[in-house]
Amino acid sequence: MTRTVITYGTFDMFHIGHLNLLRRLSELGDRLVVAVSTDEFNAGKGKRTLIPFEQRAEIVRNIRYVDEVIPESSWDQKVVDVQRYQVNTFAMGDDWAGEFDFLSAYCEVVYLPRTEGVSTTELKRSLSRFCNVSREDILRAFDVIEQLRKDFG
C-alpha cells in the first residue's frame, strides 16, 4: 500500500529550510503531495509574496522529493484534500503545532521541527533592511572594505 503525505505552504523565497522540510516529509511515506498557497489565498490572510503562485508552484514541482503540487486556495480544503489524495499523513512545520489536530480523525498528523536559523520572515526582514540602506552608505562601506584590503590585504 502506498503511503501518501501531504503538506501546505506558501514557499515564497524558497530556501534550505523548505528543502529540508520537503526531504524529511518525503521520508515519511512513498508519495508527497504539496499544496502551495495561491496569491489570492495569501492576500486573504494578509500575506504578500514576492514570487507569484505559478512560479512558486513550479519551483516546488521540480524538487525531487515532491510527487504532486496542488493549489491551496482556502483553509477549509484540507479535509477534502486528505480524502481526495488518500492521505495517510498530514505534516507541517512545528510552528503550526496543534493547529491541525482536527485532521487526526482522517489521518496521522505530524509536526516537524524547523531548520534552525532560517525563515522566510527573517529573509524578508533582512531584504527590507538591505533595501533601506542608502546608496551613499553602500558606497562608503565599499570604500571602507577597499581601505581594509589595502591596509591588511
Q: Is 78 a catalytic residue?
A: no
How is residue 56 written as a grid cell? 512558486
In angstroms, the CA 47 to CA 1 distance is 38
Cell reading at 61: 514541482
Q: In terms of residues, how long is the chain? A: 153
Active site residue 124: no
Name the catalytic one among 45, 78, 124, 150. Answer: 45
Take residue 103 and report the three cell numbers written for it: 485532521
Measured CA to CA, the distance from residue 4 to residue 14 in angstroms comes to: 23
C-alpha span between 69 and 61 (Å, rounded): 6
- Please give the positions annotated as active site: 45, 47
